[in-house]
Amino acid sequence: MKNILKRLVVAGLTAVMVLSLAACGSSSSGSSSKKSSAKSAVAAIKKSGTLTMCTNAEFAPFEYKDGNDIKGIDVEISQAVADDLGVKLKISDIAFDSLIPSLQAGKADMAAAGMTVTEDRKKNVDFSDTYFDASQAIIVPKDSAIKTRTDLNDKIVGVQTGTTGDTYCTNQDGSSDIKVKEVRRYNKGMDAVADLISGRIEAVVIDNYPAQKLVDQNSDKITLLSDSLTSESYAIACPKGSDLTDEINKVLKDLKDSGELQKIMDKYISVD
Ligand code: GLN
């Protein structure tokens, strides 16, 4: 039964991947045509011999700690970019809401962190083509009275700081249809889940695949609702004007055309 479920998940993911990549042409926010006289980031990376990727390794299956290593789908994609450039990959593990400031400060070449493309973020960074479609999911205790998205109204909800889940629940611009009572912010989804289990908050809103992983680890206590809150796409962020964006798009296309991207997905989705 578990195997059948896994297979269904992988099949669904495959469909999502294919759709995401099929949409690449139109979803690209790369800046190749807008490029000014900025210095070549790619040339600088080749010269230094190191590609620095920043991430927040609290977001399995996209990035997570395994002993001293950081693994996941985004790490593999970043490694493929480093390999294509013939340089070493260096990973900087920082808070999610520090990723864009880190790019702006020139501390990293790219951020690969299951990062959703948003209009607001586009003001500060350039995004590669999208490589994954996602949504905000709702985790609740098994015995919760919260059964659908609208039940979140007037509840205390935990989110990861600075994420699209935070933006949705905080609803500063009033565009969300749900009005929660209070938003509690955490640096790790796992900490939010710990507070959910101990009854300090009533729900957690987080991206659907990490949500599934978190629920799998605590399946006797918490569950994932079938309702979702948003429709989002992940891409890799680069500093504005960086020519690395085009290089990443080339590698993403190669990975897709060769079937390698699918293999990476299968590896992280089928492993417990
Ligand atoms: N996709 C969400 C966002 O971009 C969350 C990403 C994350 O927590 N790593 O805001």
- Report d(CA 82, CA 45) in Å as an integer: 9
Index of the ligand 1 atom closest to the CA of residue 63 = 9
**Distance of CA 231 from the midpoint of ligand 1 (Å):** 12
* Identity of the residue numbered 129: D
Q: Looking at ligand 1, which residue's alpha carbon is closest to its atom 7?
A: 114
Contact call for residues 260 and 124 (beta carbons, < 8 A): no
Q: What is the pLDDT of residue 36?
A: 47
**What value does the mean pLDDT of the chain take?**
90
pLDDT at 150 over 90: yes
Its pTM stands at 0.86
Query: Out of 39-53, 76-90, 235-249, 257-271, which region has the weakest mean confidence (pLDDT)?
Result: 257-271
Index of the ligand 1 atom closest to the CA of residue 206 = 5
In sign, the C-alpha dihedral spanning 172, 160, 119, 40 is positive
Contact call for residues 127 and 117 (beta carbons, < 8 A): yes
pLDDT at 271 over 90: no
Q: Looking at ligand 1, which residue's alpha carbon is closest to its atom 5?
A: 163
Contact call for residues 87 and 45 (beta carbons, < 8 A): yes
Index of the ligand 1 atom closest to the CA of residue 118 = 4
Tokens of 168: 């949705």
Beta 182-186 vs 156-160: how paired, if at all?
parallel
**Distance of CA 214 from the midpoint of ligand 1 (Å):** 15
**Distance of CA 1 from the midpoint of ligand 1 (Å):** 31
Q: Which of 127, 164, 185, 233 gets mutated to test ligand 1 (max ligand atoms within 8 A of its CB)?
A: 164
pLDDT tens-place string over residues 200-222: 999 999 999 999 999 999 999 99
Neighbours of 74 (CB within 10 A): 29
pLDDT tens-place string over residues 11-65: 555 555 544 554 444 444 444 444 444 589 999 999 999 999 999 999 999 999 9
**Distance of CA 252 from the midpoint of ligand 1 (Å):** 19
Q: What is the pLDDT of residue 4?
A: 54
- Report d(CA 9, CA 210) in Å as an integer: 13
164 lines ligand 1 (CB under 6 A): yes
**Distance of CA 207 from the midpoint of ligand 1 (Å):** 7
- Which residue in 240, 239, 264, 270 sits closest to 251, CA to CA? 264
**Distance of CA 251 from the midpoint of ligand 1 (Å):** 22
Index of the ligand 1 atom closest to the CA of residue 189 = 8
Phi, psi angles (nearest 5°) of residue 82 = -60, -45
